[in-house]
Structure 1
């Protein structure tokens, strides 16, 4: 893997918890229980921060002044991922990530696509065990961390990632229902972590992580209990938009039950 990937992906991981960006979580559930779990992150607004942090000369040295548009297949990275469980590797093996970066055009996007074969796999993905959660973080730490005898590499962050936010909910998915409930013990454990005090300060400063969840269902929705959820005209698509940082204060506000 070329040097620029180490820099770009390390920066991308670090902004999981330090800055504003937009995330679109797109889930498709087919009639047979299979489907796709897609996460699209638009980090274009953060390129100025990257330029200020690294400097133009450093970016040129690493080749980041060039245009990049590439796809990384997870199956090519899993063999070296020591911290992933067998379950996580199974969830991620058919996934891929598309990375687009163009500093001059202010484009910085990362899209991850994980097909799944059954509702249990989707339940694991939505619980933060793969996809945009702890699985991805562990994978990149293994790939881009310091190797024995190698020069020092940029450190991957130790703070919370998307998987940490997802893990405060117990997700239950069955044929005809999706439920997310706050797990009080996990929420307490997350908010008691030292770095979370800084996250709460970000919320008070007006900073946002705009998060949109869209779920395409095989049948029309019969009932949902969260007023934030919007239904399409045919009631087969549900959409929920919110500021992810608000989960630190009112996680129950974003719990829901959907019957279809």
Structure 2
């Protein structure tokens, strides 16, 4: 029953990834030797209402899906059997973990992804969305939770966080982090028919509140992008914005950080 529950909520979370307001916090820590942690925290409590509409309260109760869940999944157990992710993705993901908290009654739905990395090249891949794209995550979930289930939901093909990350060329080196818009990738993304629906969400006041926090091993210089703020000791850089605004003006969120 636990596996069925997890498969259900994870599949629904991915399928409606951009259907409502919620918050994402991207937290990056860079140590002096170039290693560190890359953490993504998602608060998707407002998706509970959509899940109840999608399945209905009676169906949720019948399947025992109204129980409280607080579990940690170690990614090595997923990537070892996943068929549709690359060897590089497996190497990046294998030491990571995911914590899932869900309480339908209390409208709690949180998912935290935590990936340690060994060097700045690994961080560059993580920030580029190459390791944690929704498609790769969905296939890994299907591999773990779908065994023996003939009704496993097909992997969704809509846009995900990696699609947004991919419109930027990310470079991470000792002393500098840059994100520049890749115009070809941006145009390719915007040519997809479902992007019009996402733009409509932004027009209707929907938001995906996204915060990036980067903890540096030494002080940063004053950044040129006014959306970036520095802590008092200049070792923490923060950017807060509505992710859906990327659809209209991605250059607004490009930046260079020198430290």
Q: Which residue of structure 2 aligns with residue 168 of structure 1?
A: 167
Alignment deviations for residues 161-206 of structure 1 (CA, whole Å, 9 cap, x no partner): 0001000000000000000000011101111011111111111111
For 1:76, the equivalent position in structure 2 comes to 77
Instruction: State the alpha-carbon separation in 2 of the partners of residues 127 and 155 from structure 1.
Output: 25
CA contact (8 A) 1:112 1:132 kept: no
**1:55-80 deviation per Cα after TM superposition (whole angstroms, max 9, x unaligned):** 11111123221110000010001122
- Structure 2 Cα separation of the partners of residues 243 and 138 of structure 1: 27
Q: Distance in 2 between matches of 1:129 and 1:15?
A: 21
Counterpart of 1:217? 216
Aligned to 2:158: 159
Q: Which runs of 5+ in 2 are unaligned?
A: none
Q: State which drifts further: 58-67 or 36-45.
A: 58-67
For residues 213 and 138 of structure 2, the distance between their equivalents in structure 1, rounded to whole angstroms, comes to 23
Paired residue secondary structure (1:203):
helix
The equivalences for 1:79-118 within 5 A come to 79-118=80-119
Residue 234 (structure 2) aligns with: 235
The DSSP-based 3-state class of the residue aligned with 1:25 is strand
Are 2:135 and 2:156, in contact at CA under 8 Å, matched by a contact in 1?
no
Cα deviation code 1:134-173 (max 9, x no counterpart): 532442344456x6x8522233321100001000000000
Q: What SS does the corresponding residue of 1:194 show, helix, strand or coil?
A: coil
Supply the distance in 1 between the matched residues of 2:135 and 2:30 (Cα, whole angstroms): 23
Equivalent runs, 1:18-167 vs 2, <5 Å:
18-131=19-132, 133-144=134-145, 150-167=149-166
Alpha-carbon distance in structure 1 between the residues aligned to 2:138 and 2:162: 8
CA spacing shift, 1:144–1:19, aligned 2, 3 Å: farther
What SS is found at the alignment partner of 1:63?
Answer: coil
Secondary structure of 2:179's match?
A: strand
Q: Is the 8 A contact 1:40 1:111 kept in 2?
A: yes
Question: How far apart are residue 226 of structure 1 and its match?
Answer: 0.6
> Any unmatched runs of 5+ in structure 1?
none
Q: Is the 8 A contact 1:83 1:138 kept in 2?
A: yes
CA gap of 1:113–1:30, structure 2 versus 1, over 3 A, is same
Distance 2:104 2:17 in 1: 19
CA contact (8 A) 1:17 1:159 kept: no
1:12 Cα shift? 1.1
Aligned-partner Cα distance in 2 for 1:85–1:107: 33
1:134–1:257 CA distance, 2 compared to 1 (3 A): farther
Instruction: Compute the RMSD of aligned alpha carbons.
Output: 1.5
Alignment partners' CA distance in 2, 1:184 and 1:238: 26
Q: Name the TM-score, length of structure 2 as normaliser.
A: 0.95
- Looking at structure 2, the residues matched to 224 and 132 of structure 1 have their Cα atoms a distance apart, in angstroms, of 28
The answer as to 2:178 corresponding to 1:179 is yes
